[in-house]
Amino acid sequence: MRLPRRRPRFPEWEHWRIGDTGRVSLLVPAPRLIQPTTAVRESFLAGERADHLAAGDPMDWLDEAYRDFGAFVARRRGVQERWGVPCTTFWYVAGEHYLGTLIVRHRLTPELAEVGGHVGYHVVAPWRRRGHATRMLAAGLVECRGLGLERVLLTCAADNEPSRRVIIANDGVHDGRVRGEDRYWIALTPAH
């Protein structure tokens, strides 16, 4: 007996596929933007380590996470002062899987108004090219609206085509280039 090809009755589950045999071959909770959590320890460490190794970036900041992940997470929850402004860090997760980070800067300094903007984000390599960055930024814009922001600035390297596409998909309007970074403004409507 074959199962009908219709979506299961689990609205919180997004990624699934019913194969030719009628069996569900993949069922992963829909990704969501949350405060950092210890629940994704293994996938956070694996994803961030792999990204930094691939890019040749220093990984010393991860030492703290390996030593005491609970304390590492606690320091990233709530509003923190970074870059001279209040910031909120979110992780994009699907069940036990860490997909990426999004940081909202509550206001801009003159430096951030040139490079950096209100929002920074990244998706770890195993989860790229699946639309996660676009959806993560959309969820982040809802958080920005909740802070009372009416528009937000995002910047990306001039040669970062994937990030440019993510920003434009979220209604980013190009506003020139400063110090090698393209600038985009996104107006936050009530729909965000």
pLDDT attached to residue 110 = 95
Both 64 and 133 in one domain: the answer is yes
The per-residue pLDDT for 8 is: 38
Report yes or no on 4 lying in a domain.
Answer: yes
Q: Over pLDDT 70: what percentage of the chain?
A: 84
- 192 located within any domain: no
- 144-151's contacts with Cβ under 8 Å and 24+ in sequence apart are 144/104, 144/118, 144/119, 144/188, 144/192, 145/188, 145/190, 145/192, 147/104, 147/106, 149/106, 149/118, 149/188, 150/187, 150/188, 151/185, 151/186, 151/187, 151/188
Over residues 102-161, the pLDDT tens digits come to 999 999 999 999 999 999 999 998 899 999 999 999 999 999 999 999 999 999 999 999
Global pTM reads: 0.83
CA distance 46 to 59: 12
* Higher pLDDT, residue 18 or 85: 85
Q: Report the CATH number that the domain containing residue 56 is assigned in CATH.
A: 3.40.630.30
Structural domain count, the chain: 2
135 in the same domain as 156: yes
Pair 138, 81 in one domain: yes
pLDDT of residue 25: 45
State whether 1 and 84 are in the same domain: no
Question: Are residue 79 and residue 1 in the same domain, yes or no?
Answer: no
* pLDDT higher than 90, residue 14: no
Place of tokens 């210890």: 38
Please give the pLDDT value at position 1.
Answer: 42
Considering the domain architecture, whether residues 122 and 76 belong to the same structural domain is answered as yes
Confidence of residue 192 (pLDDT cuts 50, 70, 90): low
Same domain, 86 and 180: yes
Mean pLDDT estimate for the chain:
87
| Domain span at 3 | 1-30
**Residue 189: its pLDDT value, please?**
82
Note whether residue 121 is domain-resident. yes
The mean pLDDT of 51-76, rounded to a whole number, is 92
- Whether the per-residue pLDDT at 19 is higher than 70: the answer is no
Q: Is the same domain home to 64 and 107?
A: yes
Domain contains 45: yes
Q: Are residues 135 and 87 in the same domain?
A: yes
What average pLDDT does the segment 69-80 reach? Answer: 96
